[in-house]
Amino acid sequence: MRTRSTFSISFWISTSRMEDNTAKIYARITINSQRANMSLKYTIPTEIWDSKGSRVLGRTKEAQEINTYLMEVESELFQCYRELRSKSPHITPQMVKARYFGEDENQITLKALFEYHNLHGAHALGKATLSHYKTTQKYLLCYLKKQYKCDDCCLSQLNHQFIVGFETYLRKLHPIHHHGRLSNNGAMKHIQRLRKMVRVALHNEWIEKYPFQKFKIRIERKEREFLNMPELQKIQDYHTGIERLRIVKDLFVFSCYTGIAYCDIMNLCEDNLVKGIDGRYWISSKRLKTKNSFKLPLMGPAISIIKRYQYHPKRKPEKLLPEISNQKLNSYLKEIADACEIKKNITFHMARHTFATTITLSNGVPIETVSKILGHTELATTQIYARVLDRKISKDMSGLESILESMFSDTRGDTGSFGNSEF
């Protein structure tokens, strides 16, 4: 079913810019209540303009010449509209105007913007991040096909209505290999990527107006799940005769005690294992995602796991640990969680959260140190993990209670206690 649109052309004179009772003639293109004005080359006395008929009054040679010209302009604009309409049902007045003046051939399209972004922005993006951008671009083209029945569009067509429509499309989307529809944050991430690409177009002066001016991206703050110490201990103590589960358990525990992400663990080589200034073994590497360097001394469980796979047949000679796909890791972790009777939805990335929260921050390691170990660019990123655990609250408050009790006894000589009492 073709989308119907209203199209009209009208002529008028600009009396607000009148000089000596003369005014310029303008053409106005209107499509679905959107307008675009274009100045014509004639200036006429205001008294000879027929506002109802949109023509010049009189039978003079000049009047006939102007009226003939207006008819030609009207005919050519209508032809431009028909040509554009044959290619896409989504037409704007600006597109008709650009076609009339021969400017539309130089207009950048959405696909061209994608190609420019992926070519010139790839060096600053990790492989996984670039893959996310390509997914966003795929969804945008699917949205164009479904909503506007076209394969591409000019950047001048991007407006607030386009973005709102794309958001609605994403919220109803049910991607392949996905448990359900996209979450709010999933949809907003795609719109954030579109916004970044549109900014590239704005900086290159390919668009005049910023279509995100009145659109607000709404990210819902969510708590990052992690394992507490008893849960982590359960996994550490888990024994099985199935080799694939043993490898997955060891990789997960290694990440819990180092905070190293999956892709960075898979890239660890023997050269990344170095002796630190304290004589201990350290990991020194660079994050694949941010290119930030990170260094950290290894704790006992992590060192034991490295030694365990030193001569293991599943480990490639140049690598530090065995390789396994992230998809399989997450799938096998579900088996381990069931065997350990852990109800949480464990993923491999949860190990990084566990390191940040349970292993370091809850045991008094300064957030600046944790941020450096995790390879974060900004401290604000690390603060996502800086939740305060009940055990830490209890420990801190107990210390405060002892201080207050001592102060109270010294100043008042009272032997009363701040401790728990039965009511």
Give the DSSP per-residue string, 307-367: HHTTT-TTS-TTBSS----HHHHHHHHHHHHHHTT--S---TTHHHHHIIIIIIGGGT--H
Q: Hey, which residues does 39 pair with through a beta bridge?
A: 26
Q: Is 372 contained in some domain? A: yes
| One domain for residues 259 and 360 | yes
Q: Is 219 contained in some domain? A: no
The CA distance from 152 to 154, in Å, is 7
- Among 104, 138, 163, give the residue marking a domain's end: 104
Give which of 191, 200, 245 is closest to 218, Cα–Cα. Answer: 191
| One domain for residues 268 and 378 | yes
- Asked if 36 and 94 touch (Cβ cutoff 8 Å), the reply is yes
- How many structural domains are present in the chain? 4
| One domain for residues 256 and 331 | yes
Give which of 126, 190, 113 is closest to 153, Cα–Cα. Answer: 113
The CA distance from 199 to 215, in Å, is 14
Residue 96 is predicted with a pLDDT of 87
**Taking the CB of residue 136, how many other CB atoms lie within 10 A of it?**
20
- Among 49, 78, 104, give the residue marking a domain's end: 104
Q: What is the pLDDT along the chain (423 residues), one digit of tens a residue?
A: 345 678 999 999 988 877 788 999 999 999 888 888 999 888 999 899 998 888 999 989 999 999 999 999 999 999 989 988 887 667 778 888 888 887 665 578 898 899 989 988 878 787 778 899 999 999 999 999 898 878 888 888 899 999 999 999 999 988 876 667 888 999 999 999 999 999 999 998 888 889 999 999 998 877 778 999 999 999 999 999 999 999 999 999 999 999 999 999 999 999 999 988 888 999 999 888 777 888 889 999 999 999 999 988 888 888 999 999 999 999 999 999 999 999 998 999 999 889 988 888 888 888 888 888 887 777 776 776 665 555 566 666 776 777 777 776 665 555 444 444 443
| One domain for residues 406 and 381 | no
Residue 390 is predicted with a pLDDT of 55
Q: Is 286 contained in some domain? A: yes
Residue 224 is predicted with a pLDDT of 75
Residue 104 is predicted with a pLDDT of 64
Residue 291 is predicted with a pLDDT of 79
How remote is the C-alpha of 400 from its chain's centroid? 43
Distances (CA, A) of 319 to 133, 293, 306: 30, 19, 11
| One domain for residues 323 and 347 | yes
| One domain for residues 235 and 360 | yes
Domain range holding 406? 397-423
| One domain for residues 116 and 100 | no
Q: How many percent of the chain have pLDDT more than 70?
A: 88
Residue 418 is predicted with a pLDDT of 45
Please give the helix or strand (H or E) that residue 40 lies within, else none. Answer: strand 34-45
Q: Is 338 contained in some domain? A: yes
- Among 74, 104, 134, give the residue marking a domain's end: 104
| One domain for residues 30 and 92 | yes
Q: Is 220 contained in some domain? A: no
Q: Is 237 contained in some domain? A: yes
| One domain for residues 154 and 251 | no
Residue 191 is predicted with a pLDDT of 96
| One domain for residues 270 and 371 | yes
| One domain for residues 49 and 116 | no
**Taking the CB of residue 95, how many other CB atoms lie within 10 A of it?**
24
Q: Is 345 contained in some domain? A: yes
Q: Is 221 contained in some domain? A: no
| One domain for residues 100 and 114 | no
